[in-house]
């Protein structure tokens, strides 16, 4: 008689489960995207050469990122309306002036050119600082800064416009590879020529 419930024949073998491959930590895996080129903050020799002295002087990523932030603040002039939303890191590096968006792009491009991951952060600043603290540049409009991936600590947010790490006075709205990923206005307007938006921002604690 044939028994259908009989066990496997003597020669039958069970394949062992394949060993699980180690998976990268999710934050580190996601940070890898921000080490690649983007239109406004590419990896470039000029950016790497500009950042090389700081890289040679600082072996730690945190110290290097802070040094690059200080370098931008010292070497670049904050000059409103001197650039546009299409100005990239290389052009800003050549001009040595610009606005918060340009300074963030230079920091991001320099970090990427050294093999680090960095992203663009868009947000707002507290309009009136607490007593005893200086009012930050860019507090009346949208603001931009950068964040550098510093393992094992995570993202280090830096504001080269004000030469400070981004803290409680910085309100994050969005982040991306560069300004183009997080532009607050996007689309087409049909109408007469000469139109331009005027934006004012007031940020205060609740």
Q: What is the mean pLDDT of the chain?
A: 86
| Domains of the chain (ranges, CATH numbers) | 26-181 (3.10.620.30)
User: What confidence score (pLDDT) does residue 7 get?
Assistant: 52
Judged against a pLDDT cut of 50, whether residue 13 lies above it is answered with no
Query: Rounded CA gap, 164 and 180, in Å?
Result: 24
- Nearest CA among 182, 128, 156, 204 for reference residue 60: 156
What predicted TM-score, i.e. pTM, was given to this entire model? Answer: 0.81
Listed in sequence order, the DSSP H helices in 76-175 are 89-95, 100-113
Q: CB pairs under 8 A, 24+ apart, for 51-54?
A: 51/110, 51/111, 51/113, 51/114
Judged against a pLDDT cut of 80, whether residue 27 lies above it is answered with no
Can you tell me the mean pLDDT for 4-12? Answer: 50
List, for residues 119-133, the tens digit of each pLDDT value.
999 999 988 777 877
Lowest-confidence pick of 24-38, 56-70, 137-151:
24-38
User: What confidence score (pLDDT) does residue 36 get?
Assistant: 96
Q: What is the DSSP letter of 1?
A: -
User: What confidence score (pLDDT) does residue 127 get?
Assistant: 80
List, for residues 142-160, the tens digit of each pLDDT value.
899 999 999 999 999 999 9
List, for residues 106-120, the tens digit of each pLDDT value.
999 999 999 999 999
Judged against a pLDDT cut of 90, whether residue 197 lies above it is answered with no
Q: What is the DSSP letter of 184?
A: S
């Amino acid at each position: 008689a044939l028994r259908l419930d009989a066990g496997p024949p003597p020669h039958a073998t069970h394949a062992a489960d394949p060993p699980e491959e180690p998976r990268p930590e999710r934050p580190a895996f996601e940070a890898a995207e921000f080490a690649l080129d983007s239109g406004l903050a590419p990896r470039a020799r000029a950016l790497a050469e500009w950042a090389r002295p700081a890289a040679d002087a600082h072996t730690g990523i945190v110290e290097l990122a802070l040094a690059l932030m200080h370098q931008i603040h010292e070497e670049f002039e904050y000059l409103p309306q001197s650039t546009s939303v299409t100005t990239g890191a290389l052009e800003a590096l050549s001009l040595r002036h610009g606005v918060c968006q340009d300074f963030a792009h230079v920091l991001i491009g320099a970090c990427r050119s050294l093999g680090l991951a960095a992203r663009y952060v868009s947000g707002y600043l507290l309009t009136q600082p607490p007593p005893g603290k200086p009012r930050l540049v860019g507090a009346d409009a949208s603001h931009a800064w950068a964040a550098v991936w510093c393992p094992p600590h995570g993202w280090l947010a830096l504001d080269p416009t004000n030469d400070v790490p981004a803290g409680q006075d910085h309100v994050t709205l969005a982040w991306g590879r560069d300004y183009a990923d997080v532009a607050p206005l996007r689309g087409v307007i049909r109408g007469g020529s000469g139109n331009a938006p005027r934006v004012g921002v007031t940020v205060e604690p609740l």
